[in-house]
A and B are shown apart, each in its own frame.
Chain A
Amino acid sequence: MTVARRFFTQEWSALAVAIAIGLATLSALSPAFLTEYNLYVVLRSFCVVLVVAFAQMLTLAVGQLNLAVGALGGLVAIAVGGMMEKLGLPTGVAVFVGLAIGVAGGVLNGLLTVRTGINGFIVTLATASVFTGINLGVTESIPFYNLPPDFVAFGVKRFFAVPYLLIPPVIAALLLALFLARTVPGRYLLAVGGNPHAAELSGIPRDRIVVLAHALSGLLSAVGAILAEAQLGSAQPTIGADWLVISFAAPIIGGAALTGGHVSVAATALAVVLVVLIQNGMVLAKVDPYWVQFLLGALILSAVGLNRFRAIRIERA
């Protein structure tokens, strides 16, 4: 197969083309687009969204819907901020504990889902409320502003247009891709999502894998929260409040199968690039920011429609 042929059979080729067109259009229409500062801004907004998208992607991989991605993120954000500001813990420790909270939250979601047999959607709808409640109860809606300077600095430092903040998401993306494509637990995860009954018959510990997926999702929520905190320079209790739609949008636009078993790190990442580019374009064009919400909804619907269309074509073949 020629390189071109191989490119076009990839599921994300349409996305890549759309992005290329978008980049070209933006650079042509707006001189501000290709400046170093603007690219830096774009890459920065990319960071948190990418990790959040991955958090949802993992639960989608096992066929579950996770509504607690944002709420858990918010909780971790204020926990980490509170530990650094109020308890004076060193950054490293606070971050570590924050990640542990994320994993714990995820494990809670996973256990509740498998032990009770309740739909993951309802479980996470409930736990999201619980996490938000704890969040608001502890902070009383007041952010933590006095974060350690080196932490805040990390969120701002850059190497030309590349923010330091980009490093964790990129590492996460690579690890995740490796995990899903080449490790046994990763393959088991996709097997459980692809055909839970068959996976069980093959001796895969279905319940444990679902809990693992939720745990990893929680971990990524936590990573996203910490990155957002560094980006903002303060621990806002509202972190995560607007994560829900984008967390689903990116994996779905990236072709994730809603029933599970099929996700793509690359396609999800490209979808995030697309959304971030659209957002940036809107800002540069001084368009109403409300258009983003509208377009996000439209994008999801188109992506879903397209996936169905493709699935029907395959069925007919």
Chain B
Amino acid sequence: MDLAIEAVGKHFPGVVALDDVSFEIRPGEIHALMGENGAGKSTLIKIITGLYQPDGGRLLIDNKESRFASPRDAIGAGVSAVHQERNLIPRFSVGENIMLENLPTRRRLVDYEAVHAQARRFLDLIDPSIDTRAEVRRLSVAQMQIVEIAKALSLEAGVLLLDEPTASITDHEAQALFAVLRHLRSEGKAIVFVSHKLEEVIALSDRVTVLRDGKVAAAGEPIARMSRSRIVSAMIGREERTAEIGARNAVGGVPALEVSGLTTSLGHREVSFTLRQGEILGLYGLVGSGRTELARALMGDARILAGEIRLRGEPIFVTDTPTAIRRYRMGYVSEDRKSEGLILADSIRANIAITVWRSIASGLGLLTRRAEERVAEPLARRLDIRTPSLDQQVGKLSGGNQQKVSIAKWLAAGVDILIIDEPTVGIDIKTKAAIHELIAEITRGGVSVLLISSDMPEMITLADRILIMRDFVLVGEIENERRYETMSRRIMGFIHGEIDMVDAKGQAEANHG
């Protein structure tokens, strides 16, 4: 089955997700779709699977114009997908989840024997160890992802889309998956494979399409013609992407935050690192590696089972988020600014002043607009937030301006330590640069920043040192030499387990010795 989209656009309030994108899949091929965070890959997938409707352009199946008004239409047309987030029914069994689109029946009743037998067939292709009768909510994240893959396979669809299918599974299982995909390809199926893991893409796919900032940067190029560096430069727009962010102060060695042997209820094991005063410490890792969860633990949103946290030498016990903010002057810029970082229906003024409401209220508890303005206005000016008025609803701002607001509120609170999680997802280039400059400027003022990012150029631009996390454990710690090719290779080396923490430590000691 031939599936194509032509000149498709899609926008949301404040951001253009896709702009004049054309994309075409042929039967009997594995077509990789690549791009940085926020480039538009997930939006494209959601359009092809009927979750979103495009604002412009058309969808063609076997060269006939078509319309997917809902996921049902897409499934009916022979498109099945494994999305990035988990989409399983928690209390149903593995088998039932796999066969949900197509429950086999006998005499109008669900035939559970057949359900489990058929589910078993598809599950065995990747991981025979999962019990089809187990309740999905009791599985691990990796197992759930495998179940989802089996589910997509069960549809025996003409077009199979996989969005970061190997994010949470082991190499062994990934290899099994690839074998299945190759087999499907030989049967004439069309496979779209979204991944940011270059090695996988090069090894597996026939053609590759690269998206950048919502537009097509490389359209269906045969993989033979796309070298690693050509793919990367299509993704980032130029060869080297390390921007200048101004002179970094010689970072003093004074530790602002020391974490030792931290084990949390979320799954972290023995995490240890030191955040130095005025430094930008990067924390790199893939989706699901445990970085955001670490931030949550530091902010008091999870239980600490073992280990110690010291703030300027003194041990601290963060019991809940208000304590972390008020007493320890820590802040957290959430990766999900729309649902966690901001109250969209509220004004810019309120969103900036929220962290200090209690402090700016008068003795009687009265909180005037003027008091809020006194806090918000200078910050809005300093951060160059573009708006006709501070009363503007934050939900109406562009992504970049929204992010500035969500950072501004921590400056209002005067935090000493700021954890920033994926600051520039879905933000245009110019504002991205502005935010990077802002982060650097904050640290010049004495704030220490823990920067969580899966955006390699961003990490290499900003961080003084870089920690690498995988599966809720720290696997690497390196100084940033700010040369893109070498640094990205080293970081990816840690991610794929090619470099050992011990080696890296030895390196670091040799460098400092």
Contact = CB atoms under 8 A, between A and B. Distances in A.
Give yes or no for direct A-B contact (beta carbon below 8 Å). Answer: yes
Interface of A: 178, 182-184, 187, 190-191, 194-195, 197-205, 257, 261-262, 314, 316
Nearest to B83: A201
A68 to B, nearest CB: 27
30 contacts: A178-B109, A182-B110, A183-B109, A184-B110, A187-B92, A187-B96, A190-B91, A190-B92, A191-B92, A191-B100, A194-B90, A194-B91, A195-B88, A197-B87, A200-B71, A201-B49, A201-B51, A201-B83, A201-B87, A202-B75, A202-B87, A202-B101, A202-B151, A203-B72, A203-B75, A203-B76, A257-B91, A261-B90, A262-B91, A316-B265
Interface string B59-99: 00000000000111001100001010011111110001000
A187 B70 CA distance: 20
Contacts of B72: 203-205
B108 interface: yes
A191 B90 CA distance: 9
Interface residues of B, number: 28
Nearest to B111: A182
A261 B96 CA distance: 14
A194 B97 CA distance: 11
A51 B96 CA distance: 29
Contacts of B105: 184
A191 B265 contact: no
Given A202-B151, A314-B138, 13 more contacts: A184-B105, A187-B103, A190-B92, A194-B91, A195-B88, A198-B88, A201-B81, A201-B83, A202-B101, A203-B72, A203-B101, A204-B100, A316-B265
Interface string B253-277: 0000000000001000000000000
A204 B88 CA distance: 13
Contacts of A200: 70-71
Given A187-B110, A191-B100, A195-B87, A203 B71 contact: yes
Contacts of A184: 103, 105, 110
Nearest to A315: B265
A201 B71 contact: yes
Interface in B144-158: 151
Nearest to B51: A201
B145 to A, nearest CB: 14
Contacts of A191: 89, 92, 100
Nearest to B109: A182
A190 B93 CA distance: 12
Interface in B91-128: 91-92, 96, 100-101, 103, 105, 108-110
A202 B70 CA distance: 10
A183 B110 CA distance: 5
A308 to B, nearest CB: 16
Contact of A199 (B75, B89, B96, B137): B89
B70 to A, nearest CB: 7
Given A187-B110, A201-B83, A203-B101, A194 B75 contact: no
B98 to A, nearest CB: 10
Contacts of B103: 184, 187
Contacts of A187: 92, 96, 103, 110
A200 B109 CA distance: 22
B483 to A, nearest CB: 43
The 8 A-B residue pairs with the shortest CB-CB distance, nearest first, are A198-B87, A194-B89, A203-B72, A203-B75, A182-B109, A202-B100, A191-B89, A201-B71
Contacts of A194: 89-92
Given A184-B103, A203-B76, A203-B101, A261 B91 contact: yes
A83 B142 CA distance: 61
Given A184-B105, A187-B110, A261 B87 contact: no
B351 to A, nearest CB: 26
Interface string B286-308: 00000000000000000000000
A202 B96 contact: no
A191 B89 CA distance: 6
A316 B302 CA distance: 11
Contacts of A316: 265
A178 B265 CA distance: 40
Contacts of A202: 71, 75, 87, 100-101, 151
Q: From B71, B76, B103, B137, name the one whose CB has the most chain A CB atoms within 10 angstroms.
A: B71
B265 A198 contact: no
A9 to B, nearest CB: 12
A187 B105 CA distance: 12
A241 B502 CA distance: 72
A182 B51 CA distance: 29
Interface string B364-392: 00000000000000000000000000000
Contacts of B108: 183
Most chain B Cβ neighbours within 10 Å, of A182, A190, A195: A195
Nearest to A191: B89
B497 to A, nearest CB: 28
Interface centre among A182, A197, A198 (most CB of B within 10 A): A198
B101 A195 contact: no
Given A182-B110, A183-B108, A198 B89 contact: yes
Contacts of B138: 314
B89 A195 contact: yes
Nearest to B72: A203
Nearest to B88: A198
A199 B75 CA distance: 13
B82 to A, nearest CB: 10
Nearest to A205: B72
Contacts of A257: 91
A317 to B, nearest CB: 8
Interface in B224-276: 265
A140 B328 CA distance: 66
Residue of A197, A199, A203, A261 most packed against chain B (CB within 10 A): A203
A194 B87 CA distance: 11
A262 B91 CA distance: 7
A257 B89 CA distance: 13
Contacts of A205: 72
Nearest to A200: B71
Given A183-B109, A201-B83, A202-B101, A195 B90 contact: yes
A183 B75 CA distance: 21
A142 B122 CA distance: 64
B150 to A, nearest CB: 13
A232 to B, nearest CB: 37
A184 B99 CA distance: 12
Contacts of B86: 198
Nearest to B71: A201
B267 to A, nearest CB: 12
A205 B75 CA distance: 12
A268 to B, nearest CB: 16
A199 B109 CA distance: 19
Nearest to B110: A182
Nearest to A207: B70
The residue among B96, B109, B138 with the most chain A CB atoms within 10 A of its own CB is: B109
